[in-house]
Amino acid sequence: MITFDLNWLAVGVSMIANMFIGGLWYGPLFGKRWMKELGFTMEDIEGGQTWQPYVIAIINSFLMAFVLANAIAWVGITAVDEGLLLGLILWLGFTGFSFGVNHAFEGRSIQLWAINSGMYLAGLLVMGVILTLWT
């Protein structure tokens, strides 16, 4: 059962941490490679950006943190290694290989899959730690 009896500060910090990871991931860490894989230039990115993708990213980060906090509560996780493991398991079961299917049918490269799904792996691992420590 979904609970709203959560540490909302931990959910908020997890959401912000995930957004920060995304900014680093698609910026200085892998931004150039990501753009190359998609055939984008910096002009494409700067000229085509509107506020909608950012709103969607914020909502996504909030929902990820909220659902992960619930999963941690359901399982009764109290140790950091368990929070990390749950983040990994959720990534494996719902994100990493789902992205793989999409990328395969879209004819996209394994490098693009690694960049796109890797960001969610990093986010789920960090959020798993934050939520475990603060729950």
Ranking 5-19, 37-51, 52-66, 74-88 by mean pLDDT, the lowest is: 37-51
Tokens standing for residue 44 = 């494409």
The answer to the question of residue 1 being in a domain is: no
The answer to the question of residue 32 being in a domain is: yes
How many distinct structural domains can be found in the chain?
1
pLDDT grade, residue 48 (50/70/90)? low
pLDDT at residue 16 greater than cutoff 70: yes
Range of the domain at 83: 8-134
pLDDT at residue 106 greater than cutoff 70: yes
Which segments of the chain does DSSP mark as H helices, in order? 8-24, 31-38, 42-48, 52-75, 80-90, 97-105, 110-134
Mean pLDDT of 102-131: 96
User: In whole numbers, what is the pLDDT of the chain averaged over residues?
Assistant: 93
Q: What is residue 53's predicted lDDT score, i.e. its pLDDT?
A: 86
Which pTM value belongs to this model?
Answer: 0.91
pLDDT at residue 65 greater than cutoff 80: yes
Q: What is residue 23's predicted lDDT score, i.e. its pLDDT?
A: 95
The answer to the question of residue 3 being in a domain is: no
Tokens standing for residue 89 = 């398991």
Q: What is residue 50's predicted lDDT score, i.e. its pLDDT?
A: 78
The answer to the question of residue 2 being in a domain is: no
